[in-house]
């Protein structure tokens, strides 16, 4: 149900189940009144805005920091007027977007939200376009801060500085976040925080709450046992939240990692739900998909650099299907049709088989699931968990040998026989 792509390695992804549903370096120099423009030339600030042609004269780092501090204070205190005052000279369209952003920020359970200039992208006669690191944390769910990159155009006005727009005119694109959605709603369950502007948030929170003990029953207590899910109505925003190069057009949900600040951190796990695709699933499909993604959160699948993809995805599907009543042939329908036609898979699916453009994406997930199901059935669920953990520490062949006493060739042969037996 996922593909992989964050700062560690891409997040896993899968096509929707058809279950009856048809830190950049700091460029501002230390000390007030200095700016290092993109060329590297140091200029002395002119707080009046006069002299060396407007904004190109230089930005005072302290003055820029003060503007951003006022915004953070306004978000914290619920002072809409103070927040919008920082963009009071900006075009009406930008002001409207900032007004929506403020309302959405106030809807979130923020433990903190702040902006910090980390670089200068461009200066001209009117503006200085700066790169801003936005940091925030969701109360009760995030252990560390999440960071996003934004671009703001600052301009001198009356001896101070104001926000006059963003970096769009320079071709600069902000990192997306859920506050870019329409009016946000928040549904909070016992273990789930679900945020979005789509319908059905409470239902998603209830399913995730129910899935937490199911996942914990397999993987153990050594994870946070809580999760944040993002549910934007706009498919484009859902794809942007999933990570660079991702597309959720045919994906029901995906586990990813929201990046940490440039100063360090682990990032925070998120599940991104694509409402249009998720809405086409039946009740069973929704349960399986969300349990699958929650398993990735519990095991760190979205940040795993070592474990083979067939084991990451197969294990998540094993947990996802564990508590639902569906036959193997129904759950692996695409693979069953291939086997019935005499096309038994020759090898376990490689990483490329799980890419969004793979012609056998569904079959790859089914093959991986059956491999994990076979291990649990023959050796026990605890052994499957041990294999998963061992494969994160050692090469795949070594993990198979140490945990199951099998070579990879022998394991593949057993799996091929199992696939034929279960699907014919």
Give mean pLDDT in consecutive 10-residue pieces for the chain, a chain of 424 residues: 35 41 27 30 36 53 91 98 95 97 98 94 86 97 96 87 92 96 98 97 98 98 97 94 82 93 91 94 96 98 94 98 94 97 97 88 96 98 98 97 98 98 96
Quote the pLDDT of residue 29: 24
| pTM assigned to the model | 0.87
- 87: its two tokens: 């963009």
Place of tokens 């979005």: 196
Quote the pLDDT of residue 234: 94
Say if residues 13 and 251 touch (Cβ distance below 8 Å). Answer: yes
Q: Are strands 227-231 and 192-196 parallel, antiparallel or unpaired?
A: parallel
Nearest to 141 by CA among 111, 114, 119: 111
Cα–Cα distance between 296 and 197 in angstroms, integer? Answer: 24
Report the chain's C-alpha Rg in angstroms: 25
3-state secondary structure (DSSP) of residue 142: coil
What is the distance in angstroms between the CA of the first residue and the CA of the last residue of the chain? 26
Nearest to 58 by CA among 100, 90, 97, 29: 29
Quote the pLDDT of residue 58: 65
């Amino acid at each position: 149900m996922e593909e992989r792509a964050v700062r560690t390695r891409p997040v896993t992804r899968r096509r929707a189940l058809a279950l009856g549903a048809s830190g950049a370096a700091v460029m501002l120099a230390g000390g007030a009144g200095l700016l290092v423009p993109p060329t590297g030339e140091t200029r002395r600030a002119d707080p009046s805005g006069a002299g060396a042609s407007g904004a190109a004269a230089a930005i005072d780092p302290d003055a820029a920091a003060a503007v951003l501090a006022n915004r953070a204070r306004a978000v914290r205190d619920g002072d809409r007027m103070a927040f919008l005052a920082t963009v009071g000279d900006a075009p009406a369209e930008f002001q409207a977007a900032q007004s929506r952003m403020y309302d959405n920020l106030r809807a979130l359970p923020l433990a903190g939200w702040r902006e910090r200039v980390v670089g200068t992208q461009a200066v001209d006669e009117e503006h200085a376009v700066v790169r801003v690191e936005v940091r925030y944390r969701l109360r009760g769910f995030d252990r560390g801060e999440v960071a996003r990159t934004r671009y703001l155009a600052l301009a001198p006005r009356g001896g101070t500085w104001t926000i006059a727009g963003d970096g769009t005119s320079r071709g600069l694109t902000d990192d997306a976040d859920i506050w870019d959605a329409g009016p946000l709603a928040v549904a909070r369950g016992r273990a789930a925080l679900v945020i979005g502007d789509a319908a059905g948030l409470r239902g998603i929170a209830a399913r995730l709450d129910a899935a937490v003990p199911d996942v914990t029953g397999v993987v153990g207590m050594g994870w946070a046992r809580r999760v944040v899910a993002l549910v934007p109505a706009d498919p484009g925003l859902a794809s942007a939240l999933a990570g660079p190069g991702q597309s959720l057009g045919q994906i029901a949900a995906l586990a990813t990692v929201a990046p940490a600040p440039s100063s360090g951190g682990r990032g925070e796990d998120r599940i991104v739900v694509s409402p249009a695709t998720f809405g086409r699933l039946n009740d069973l499909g929704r349960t399986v998909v969300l349990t699958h993604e929650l398993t990735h959160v519990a095991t760190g699948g979205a940040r795993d650099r070592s474990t083979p993809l067939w084991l990451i995805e197969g294990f998540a599907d094993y947990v996802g299907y564990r508590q639902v009543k569906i036959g193997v042939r129904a759950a692996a329908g695409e693979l069953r049709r291939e086997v019935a036609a005499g096309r038994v898979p020759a090898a376990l699916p490689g990483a490329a088989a799980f890419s969004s453009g793979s012609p056998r994406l569904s079959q790859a997930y089914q093959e991986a699931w059956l491999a994990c199901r076979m291990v649990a059935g023959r050796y026990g669920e605890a052994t499957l968990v041990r294999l998963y953990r061992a494969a994160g520490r050692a090469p795949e062949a070594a993990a198979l040998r140490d945990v199951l006493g099998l070579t990879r060739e022998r394991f593949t042969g057993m799996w091929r026989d199992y696939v034929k037996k279960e699907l014919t």
